[in-house]
C-alpha cells in the first residue's frame, strides 16, 4: 500500500511540473551568453572598508526588464536610475565591510523580462587596506564599561539601528560632498586602535582637529535621523542623504539640529567637543552605505560622478560661502 501511495505521489509531482507554464520552469537559469547587459564596477580591486559604484547598462535588451536588483553577501542592494545618464542606465552602491576577507567576491544581478528570470555574476576583488596601528589613552571606564554602562550601550545600539531603518528612498543631494570642518585630519579611517595598550577596535571614521565650540557643518543635504548623547560617540548626529547613504558626526559639545529636520549642505549641525570616549576635542566623521560602515572620504569620491558640478569633491570646507548659496 505504501509503495502504491509513493508511486501515485511521484506521478502527481511529475504531472504538476509538466503542467507548469514554461516561463516558471525557466526560472533561476543563468543569463545566456551574449546577454546585452553590461556592468562596470569602480574601483576594482577595492579595499576593505571602501565603497564600490556598480553601473548597469540594460539598453541592449531592447525590451523592459522588471525587478532589476543586485545582491552581495546574501543582501539585496537597491538599484536606481543613474541621475545624470539616459534611461536604461542604473547604479548600485555597495559597501565592503572592513572585516571582509581579501579575495574574489561576486555581485549577483537579477532581472526578469519576457523570456523569464535571469541572473549574471559580476566579479570584484577585495584587497586588504594598508591600515596602521594607533595608540590612545582614554578613561578606563570607557575601555571596560560597567554592567550599567553595558546595558546603556545595548539600549543605545537598538535606537541607532531603528534610526538607520528609516532610510529615504531617493537621492537628497545634488552637489558634491564637502568636508564638515576646516581642521586637519588627525586620524584616518581604518586605523587599528590600541586603547590603553589593548587592541579594542578599528577606527570606523575620520577624525578632524576641531577645538571645543568649532562649528560643524553637514557635508551635504539630508534629513536628521538621530541626535543623542551616546556612551562611546558622545553627542552624536546621524544624517540620511538618501539611497542608503548616511553620515555621522560624533563627540559634539552641542546639537544645533533635531530629528526629522532637513539640513542643507553647509548648515551647522552642532559644535565640536570631546564627549563620549574621546581623548580630546575633535570631530569624528563616519559614514554608512546600505548598513555597512565605510570610509567617509572615499565614499564622497565615489558619489562625485552622480552630481553635475565642477567643484572637486571633499576639497573645500563648508562655511559662510556655502551657507550663502
Domain ranges of the chain: 2-127, 133-323
- pLDDT interval class at 25 (50, 70, 90): very low
- pLDDT interval class at 142 (50, 70, 90): low
Residue 298 has pLDDT above 90, yes or no: yes
Backbone angles phi and psi of 275, in degrees to 5 = -80, 160
Q: Which residues contact 7 (CB under 8 A, 6 or more apart)?
A: none
pLDDT tens sequence across 160-183: 999 999 889 889 999 999 999 999
Angle at 57 between CA 53 and CA 60, to 5 degrees: 170
70-86 CB burial, b ≥16 within 10 A, e <16: bbbeeeebebbebbeee
**Which cell numbers in the block locate residue 56?**
548597469
Please report which helix (H) or strand (E) contains residue 240, including its range.
strand 234-242
Residue 13 has pLDDT above 70, yes or no: no
Distance CA 179, CA 300 (A): 9
Instruction: Locate the DSSP E strands across 10-167.
Output: 38-42, 46-47, 51-57, 66-72, 75-77, 80-81, 89-95, 103-113, 116-127, 133-136
Cell 558640478 appears where? 309
Distance CA 287, CA 193 (A): 18
Q: What is the pLDDT, as a whole number, of residue 233?
A: 96
Distance CA 168, CA 222 (A): 9
pTM of the full predicted structure?
0.82
Q: Kindly tell me the sign of the dihedral angle through the C-alpha atoms of 25, 31, 35, 38.
A: positive
Please report which helix (H) or strand (E) contains residue 270, including its range.
strand 268-272
- Of 145, 105, 135, residue with least CA distance to 276: 145
- pLDDT interval class at 322 (50, 70, 90): very low
Angle at 302 between CA 298 and CA 308, to 5 degrees: 130
**What's the CATH superfamily of 2-127?**
Immunoglobulins (2.60.40.10)
* Residue 259, number of CB atoms within 10 A of its CB: 15
Backbone angles phi and psi of 13, in degrees to 5 = -65, -45
Percent of the chain with pLDDT over 70: 78
pLDDT tens sequence across 238-278: 999 999 999 999 999 999 999 999 999 999 999 999 999 89
- pLDDT (mean) for 287-310: 89
| CATH no., domain 133-323 | 2.70.70.10
Q: What is the pLDDT, as a whole number, of residue 36?
A: 78
Amino acid at each position: 500500500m505504501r509503495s502504491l501511495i509513493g508511486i501515485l505521489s511521484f506521478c502527481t509531482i511529475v504531472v504538476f511540473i509538466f503542467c507548469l507554464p514554461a516561463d516558471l520552469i525557466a526560472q533561476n537559469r543563468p543569463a545566456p551568453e551574449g546577454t546585452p547587459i553590461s556592468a562596470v564596477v569602480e574601483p576594482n580591486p577595492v579595499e576593505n572598508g571602501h565603497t564600490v559604484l556598480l553601473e548597469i547598462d540594460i539598453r541592449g535588451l531592447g525590451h523592459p526588464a522588471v525587478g532589476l536588483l543586485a545582491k552581495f553577501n546574501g543582501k539585496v542592494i537597491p538599484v536606481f536610475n543613474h541621475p545624470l545618464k539616459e534611461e536604461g542606465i542604473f547604479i548600485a552602491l555597495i559597501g565592503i565591510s572592513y572585516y571582509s576577507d581579501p579575495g574574489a567576491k561576486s555581485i549577483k544581478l537579477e532581472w526578469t523580462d519576457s523570456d523569464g528570470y535571469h541572473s549574471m555574476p559580476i566579479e570584484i576583488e577585495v584587497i586588504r587596506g594598508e591600515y596602521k596601528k594607533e595608540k590612545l589613552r582614554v578613561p578606563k571606564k570607557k575601555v571596560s564599561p560597567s554592567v550599567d554602562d553595558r546595558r546603556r550601550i545595548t539600549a543605545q545600539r537598538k535606537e541607532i539601528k531603528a534610526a538607520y531603518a528609516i532610510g529615504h528612498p531617493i537621492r537628497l543631494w545634488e552637489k558634491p560632498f564637502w568636508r564638515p570642518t576646516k581642521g586637519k585630519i588627525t586620524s584616518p579611517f581604518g586605523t587599528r586602535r590600541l586603547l590603553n595598550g589593548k587592541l579594542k577596535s578599528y577606527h570606523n571614521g575620520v577624525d578632524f582637529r576641531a577645538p571645543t565650540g568649532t562649528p560643524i557643518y553637514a557635508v551635504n543635504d539630508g534629513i536628521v535621523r538621530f541626535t543623542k548623547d551616546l556612551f562611546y560617540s558622545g553627542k552624536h548626529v546621524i544624517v540620511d542623504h538618501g539611497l542608503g547613504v548616511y553620515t555621522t558626526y560624533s563627540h559634539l559639545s552641542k546639537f544645533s539640529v533635531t530629528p526629522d529636520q532637513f539640513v542643507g549642505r553647509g548648515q551647522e549641525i552642532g559644535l565640536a567637543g570631546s564627549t563620549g570616549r574621546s581623548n580630546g576635542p575633535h570631530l569624528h566623521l563616519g559614514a554608512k552605505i546600505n548598513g555597512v560602515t565605510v570610509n567617509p572620504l572615499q565614499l564622497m569620491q565615489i558619489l562625485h560622478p552622480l552630481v553635475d558640478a565642477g567643484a572637486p569633491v571633499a576639497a573645500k570646507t563648508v562655511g559662510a560661502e556655502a551657507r550663502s548659496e
